[in-house]
Amino acid sequence: MKQSLQLKLGQQLAMTPQLQQAIRLLQLSSLELSIEVQQVLDSNMMLELEDDSELPDLGLDSLSSDTTTSEDLDGSREDWNGDGNAPEGGRESPEDWDSGVASTTEDIPQDLPIDIDWEDVFDSTLPQGAPQAPQEDYGDRESQVGTTETLREHLLWQLNLAPLSAADRKIGEAIIDAINEDGYLEATVEEIRDIVSVGEPQPFLSEEVTAVLRLVQMLEPAGVGARDLKECLLLQLKQLPPETPWREEARTLCEHHLTLLASRDYAQLGRRLDLATDDLRAVIALIRSLAPRPGGGFSATNPEYLIPDVFVRKIKGRWRVELNGETMPQLRINPYYANLVRRAANTDDNNALRTHLQEAKWFIKSLQSRSETLLRVANAIVERQRAFLEHGEEAMRPLILHDIADALGMHESTISRVTTRKYLYTPRGTFELKYFFSSHVGTSLGGEASSTAIRAVIRKLISAENGDKPLSDSIIASILSKQGVNVARRTVAKYREGMQIPPSNERKKLV
């Protein structure tokens, strides 16, 4: 084996900790970024929020003063020059920041009667000139928050109001536990009987379970406790008033001809029920007014709202892009702790402070880089999708990650990280940045059409179709071909299924 020396020239990208941190922050959503910032604030003493109105008690004489105003606090916090000295004109001590009036605790009696009223001790009227608390409309706020009561809790509450024996109540609770979120019973009568009979000296009978099940099926919401769709609809029809028009015909249809209704064979339905077209339409309308998922109105989770990262508005005829300041945390270096770092000292404490200071600077720089990159990418997207902002989805241009990466001189992976779980607020709604990227289909004129625009055209054609003769995928493909868009039938079917639109045979309506 012969040993030799060789020279080799090459390039290698070193992933420094700073670069890794910048890349990781770039792909975080606004919620994940806020959590990350809070964790860094908890672990690094050098960082603080710029809008933090409270400073720690540093024990400095320059922080105490007799008078101050909220405007002075907001303005003077920006006058720190990093040397640890406060600007001229003192400030109050932190203990006095909570109130601008003298304490009146000596006026409060030490011993109060047990049943004393609050108004007997403190005057309920505010001093003259004091600001009034804003009156909030709690009704609107409650309507925006989802209910926290689950279907199980709602059923148990009704069951506890019924005069039942201990055995029947045990069976009822077991039945309710076997009802899923949609309101359907997932266990058989025999399975519930075996469950409630465990530990009992004498097993329960199936007839007892069936009797309690009928009671549960009479609870609200109507149709709960059913074992299939037919039973669910029949339970709801049974609870309607007897004078409801077409109630009996609807019960007959659900009992014997539900399969024909699912296949939209209206001609056969009319012959089986001996009904004219208008009468059959009224019967079907009554059935459609029922709830196929009676438990769908109950949820244990509150709705989640999207917070846009970027806003785009049209100002004086031009589209302006700006970042959402609420999702961009404003951090700064704490001037007091930064002043403790002595460059000449080499103690362990000073080295730890210097390390925290350097990490804080890196983190702030990474946040700034994230904001600048997000703004650049959003500007580039808006520049290429102005037609969408002006005219809607049908004017969407084809766009891929490579187009933005090439325009900004970035890598495609960087564009992918920036556009993932970042949302853009537009006058047409809030969209994920990924939404503006789509594949393209060739046109007869040699151009390109965005797949998003094609989906919008397909949706528009289907919404305007004749309900008696819905458009098939082949017909839609031919219409698009006449408009200059070369798209195959299977492509139309793929786009239609992606929009969760049923095929033509399932879209047929009784006109």
Q: What are the tokens at 381?
A: 């997207």
Radius of gyration (C-alpha) of the chain in whole angstroms: 34
* Contacting residues for 108 by C-beta, under 8 A, at least 6 apart: 121
The helix (H) or strand (E) run that includes residue 95 is none
CB atoms within 10 A of CB 73: 15
Do 63 and 86 form a contact (C-beta atoms < 8 A)? yes
pLDDT at position 299: 65
CA 71/CA 89 separation, integer angstroms: 13
* Three-class SS state of 313: strand
pTM of full prediction above 0.75: no
* Three-class SS state of 32: helix
Which of 108, 507, 39, 77 is CA-nearest to residue 332? 77
CA-angle at 31, arms to 28 and 35, nearest 5°:
85
pLDDT at position 310: 94
Which of 415, 408, 481 is CA-nearest to residue 443? 481
Strand 331-333 versus strand 47-49 pairing type: antiparallel
Do 223 and 294 form a contact (C-beta atoms < 8 A)? yes
Strand-pairing partners, residue 184, are 226
pLDDT at position 433: 93
pLDDT at position 254: 92
Q: Which residues of the chain have pLDDT under 70?
A: 1, 13-14, 51-148, 299-303, 342-344, 444-446, 510-511
* Contacting residues for 230 by C-beta, under 8 A, at least 6 apart: 254, 255, 258
The amino acid at residue 69 is T
pLDDT at position 510: 64
The amino acid at residue 373 is T
Do 148 and 128 form a contact (C-beta atoms < 8 A)? no
> 361 — phi, psi (to 5°)?
-65, -40
pLDDT at position 301: 64
DSSP state of 291: -
Residue 246, sorted as left (phi over 0), alpha (psi -120 to 50) or beta, turns out to be left
pLDDT at position 446: 65
pLDDT at position 409: 92
Do 339 and 82 form a contact (C-beta atoms < 8 A)? yes
CA 405/CA 380 separation, integer angstroms: 10
Which of 332, 411, 405, 409 is CA-nearest to residue 367? 332
CATH architecture type of domain 440-506: Orthogonal Bundle (1.10)
Do 338 and 82 form a contact (C-beta atoms < 8 A)? yes
Q: How is the chain split into domains, by residue range?
A: 151-297, 310-436, 440-506
CB atoms within 10 A of CB 336: 17
Q: What are the tokens at 177?
A: 């536990």
Q: Number of helices and strands (H, E) in the chain?
A: 22, 8
CA 454/CA 438 separation, integer angstroms: 11
Q: What are the tokens at 436?
A: 């503006």
